[in-house]
């Protein structure tokens, strides 16, 4: 599985990648982007099976990225799971309305990553 991790923190991108592996997912390649704009460029040139995306980022935030992703023909079916400190109910509703399929609050455990990501992947075989 090819995973794109979008976060302005390189440390957090590494932690998310490690958590996915600890959750038992078979990751063949981890692609990284530092904001939504970079992530849009990645999905237009690479095959991606799953996206984990922060919300608060410079240049283009995660909610805007999810909205714009639906307009990219080659990428609009890729499941997106938000992974963010903005953990209020309002933010969850906003993210899911924008097109995200799951939501993980920071701080998180690998088990929480697993609980959110596996059902999303099951719905997108």
Partner 1 sequence: MKAIHPKLAAREACESWMPLLELAAREVFALMLGGNLAVASEPVADEWLDVAAVVGLAGQVSGTLVLRCTSESAAEMAARMLKVDSRHTGPEVRDAVGEICNMIAGNFKNKIHGMGDGCMLSVPTVIPGRDYSLHAIADSTKIEVRLLFEELPLIVSIEIHN
Name the site residues for partner 1 (rule: CB under 8 A): 8-12, 14-15, 18, 56-58, 84-91, 105-109
CB of 108 to partner 1, least distance (A): 7
Phi–psi pair at 122, nearest 5 degrees = -65, -35
CB of 10 to partner 1, least distance (A): 6
Query: Using an 8 Å Cβ cutoff, are 39 and 33 in contact?
Result: yes
- Cα–Cα distance for residue pair 72/69, rounded to 1 Å: 5
- Cα–Cα distance for residue pair 15/113, rounded to 1 Å: 11
Q: Which is nearer to partner 1, 27 or 121 (CB)?
A: 27
Q: Which is nearer to partner 1, 15 or 52 (CB)?
A: 15
Query: Using an 8 Å Cβ cutoff, are 8 and 33 in contact?
Result: no
Q: Which is nearer to partner 1, 109 or 124 (CB)?
A: 109
Residues in the chain, overall count: 125
CB of 81 to partner 1, least distance (A): 17
């Amino acid at each position: 599985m090819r995973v794109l991790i979008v976060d302005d923190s390189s440390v957090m991108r590494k932690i998310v990648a490690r958590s996915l592996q600890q959750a038992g997912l078979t990751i063949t390649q981890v692609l990284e982007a530092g904001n939504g704009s970079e992530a849009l460029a990645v999905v237009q040139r690479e095959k991606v099976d799953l996206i984990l995306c922060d919300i608060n980022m410079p240049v283009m935030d995660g909610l805007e990225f999810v909205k714009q992703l639906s307009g990219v023909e080659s990428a609009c079916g890729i499941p997106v799971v938000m992974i963010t400190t903005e953990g209020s109910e309002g933010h969850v509703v906003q993210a899911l309305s924008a097109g995200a399929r799951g939501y993980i609050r920071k701080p998180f455990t690998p088990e929480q990553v697993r609980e959110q990501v596996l059902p999303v992947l099951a719905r997108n075989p």
